[in-house]
Amino acid sequence: MAVTAPGSTLIAGEQTTAVGSARLRRQRYPRAEKPALARRPFKKWWRETGWRHLVGAGVVVFSVFPLVYVLSASLNPGGTLISANSLFSRVSLGSYVELFNRPQQPYAAWFLNTLFIGLTASAGSVLLGALAAYAFSRMRFTGRRVGLITLVLVQMFPQLLAMVAIFLLMMGISEVFPAIGLNSQIGLIMVYLGGALGVNTYLMYGFFNTVPTSIDEAAHIDGAGHARIFFTIILPLVSPILAVVALLSLVASLSEFVIASVLLRDPERQTLAVGLFQFISQETSQNWSVFAAGAVLAAVIPVALFLLLQRYIVSGLTAGSVK
């Protein structure tokens, strides 16, 4: 007859009790089974999100296709847009080489002129607009509200309506100060500044209002004046809107054609928008491939600036809309 040790009997009893307790817990609290992933019907998916994907894809194609087509035309040695229907069927860099080998059409000079005019007008818009926005936001003076309303009303009328007045004004200035009159890049920059200051000032004014005035008051207590507060405290805080204004001003000056074509008559002083038109303006010698090549290179300036300032653009456009 086998004799069981008392210790082993105790251990076996404890194991039986533990198993029974675990079984009792499972019976009282059954584990919830994971539900199977239910597939949404196609109609419901299409009604909720599917059509949005289709619209988004259509918008992307609509936006990207012209860029791809222009790039294909710039690489097409045929010289016409019609022969570029088959994208990248014939690839050649001859148009880019020819672009810089035309003495009568100095593309390099146009590029540098556009860069100088665009960057100068952009920097001037940022500085003058920021000064005006700071004054409207932080100072209380007679005519402040009227000035803000005037800035908004002026933007209702396009600058093109004042083209005749601008031409007569610049022609009169040419007789006294030829350096800033007709056929001068400085005069064109001043016209661009005058047209851009209204909207840029109002845009920055909304952003300046988001900066607490307690910062200014604390700086005043420490003995800082308006100039020190503006340049050392306020400007770093509003850098996103400064980047947005700089980008908008640069793009506007790069794409402007009418005013630049009227004020700049010397080919050596013209901008890219005016100069590139010469490649397709003559009926007997239209070269769309060279024109497309020049347009592709001209896009380098705004794209480079956008990549440099992209982290400021979204916050700069949205933060000033809420006070």
Q: DSSP letter for 35, please.
A: P
Whether 73 has a pLDDT exceeding 70, the answer reads: yes
> The domain 105-287+298-319 belongs to what CATH superfamily?
MetI-like (1.10.3720.10)
Mean per-residue pLDDT, 277-298: 83
Q: How buried is 315 (Cβ within 10 angstroms: 0-12 exposed, 13-18 middle, 19+ buried)?
A: middle
pLDDT for the residue 10: 42
- pLDDT band for position 163 (cuts 50, 70, 90): confident
**Residue recorded with tokens 């002083």:** 269
pLDDT of the residue at 3: 47
The DSSP call for residue 157 is S
Number of helices followed by number of strands (H, E) in the chain: 17, 0
Distance (Å, whole) CA 119 – CA 302: 11
pTM of the full structure: 0.77
Segment 169-209, tens digit of pLDDT: 999 999 898 888 898 999 999 999 988 888 899 889 988 99
**Pair 266, 207: CB distance under 8 Å:** no
Residue 247: both structure tokens together: 């980008």
Given this model, what pLDDT does residue 2 score? 46
pLDDT in tens, 83-115: 545 777 778 888 898 888 888 889 999 999 999
Q: What is the mean pLDDT of residues 74-80?
A: 77
Q: What is the 3-state secondary structure (H, E, C) of 74-143?
A: HCCCCCCCHHHCCCCCCCCCHHHHHHCCCCCCCHHHHHHHHHHHHHHHHHHHHHHHHHHHHHHHHCCCCC
| Mean confidence (pLDDT) of the chain | 82
**What is the per-residue pLDDT across 224-269, written as a single tens digit (0 to 9) for each?**
888 999 999 999 999 889 988 998 899 889 889 999 999 998 888 9
Low-confidence winner among 126-135, 220-229, 303-312 (lowest mean pLDDT) = 303-312
Task: Give the start-to-end residue ranges of the domains of the chain.
Answer: 47-92, 105-287+298-319
